[in-house]
């Protein structure tokens, strides 16, 4: 099994599949998550083959674009890895990471059982916060035709995945329903340090947003 070739093939496969996607789940999101995973994984002494495959394939077909079906992504990832002749133990590990990766609501636990899963989950969550996280949130909100902000609609802390999937709140509410919660959900010490700075940047952005919204000069 030529691991370098499999990683290269997977990179090209995902790049071709997701390039130009406009909701914030494009190839460059994958690329950033992959880079985050490389950085964190080397410091956490993980199996970097599993980490890289899971990072590259984690959004192969997100539940958000499959009517809430979170089985499609792992299924497509498995089909690809089988074509690449990857060992079954590794395929199962990668698919398990993809299945459990997503944030599913404030009251829904999604604990990763392996360090490789923790690293990829942290890497994905880091790309959802900070300056890039803000940009991606508004890109996705526009993609879904959500209001930017409606002060009459309050954020909801969802207690089930079904509630979270069916939510259609404003983009600003999404900060309170997900993004501002991610700092305290990081698994690794490396990611926790990175998340602190990005979290503070989002808080500053929201402060400024509300000042401008209220007409303060």
- pLDDT tens digit sequence for 110-119: 778 999 999 9
C-alpha 81/C-alpha 94 separation (Å) is 9
For the whole prediction, is pTM greater than 0.75? yes
Give exposure, 54-93, as e/b (b: 16+ Cβ within 10 Å).
bbbbbbbbbbbeeeeebeebbebbbebbeebebeeebbeb
Average pLDDT of every residue of the chain: 89
C-alpha 165/C-alpha 102 separation (Å) is 11
Give exposure, 108-147, as e/b (b: 16+ Cβ within 10 Å).
eeeebebbbbbbbbbbbbbbbbbebbbebbbbbbeeeebe
- pLDDT tens digit sequence for 88-109: 999 999 999 999 887 765 556 7
Residue 65, pLDDT score: 47
Radius of gyration of the chain (CA): 18
C-alpha 102/C-alpha 31 separation (Å) is 17
Residue 159, pLDDT score: 57
CB atoms within 10 A of CB 161: 18
Give me the domains of the chain, ranges plus CATH numbers: 3-213 (1.10.3210.50)
């Amino acid at each position: 099994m030529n691991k370098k070739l499999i990683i290269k093939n997977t990179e090209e496969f995902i790049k071709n599949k997701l390039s130009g996607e406009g909701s914030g789940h494009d190839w460059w999101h994958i690329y950033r998550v992959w880079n985050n995973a490389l950085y964190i994984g080397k410091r956490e002494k993980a199996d970097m083959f599993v980490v890289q495959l899971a990072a590259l394939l984690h959004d192969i077909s997100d539940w958000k674009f499959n009517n809430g079906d979170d089985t499609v992504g792992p299924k497509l990832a498995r089909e690809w890895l089988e074509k690449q002749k990857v060992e079954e133990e590794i395929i199962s590990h990668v698919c398990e990471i993809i299945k459990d990766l997503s944030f599913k609501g404030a009251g829904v636990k999604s604990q990763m059982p392996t360090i490789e899963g923790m690293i990829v989950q942290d890497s994905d969550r880091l790309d959802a916060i900070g300056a890039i996280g803000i940009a991606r949130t508004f890109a996705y909100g526009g993609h879904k035709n959500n209001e930017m902000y409606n002060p009459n609609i309050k954020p909801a802390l969802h207690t089930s995945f079904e509630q979270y999937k069916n939510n259609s709140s404003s983009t600003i509410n999404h900060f309170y329903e997900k993004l501002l919660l991610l700092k305290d959900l990081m698994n690794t010490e490396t990611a926790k340090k990175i998340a602190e700075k990005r979290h503070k940047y989002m808080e500053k952005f929201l402060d400024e947003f509300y000042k401008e919204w209220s007409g303060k000069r």
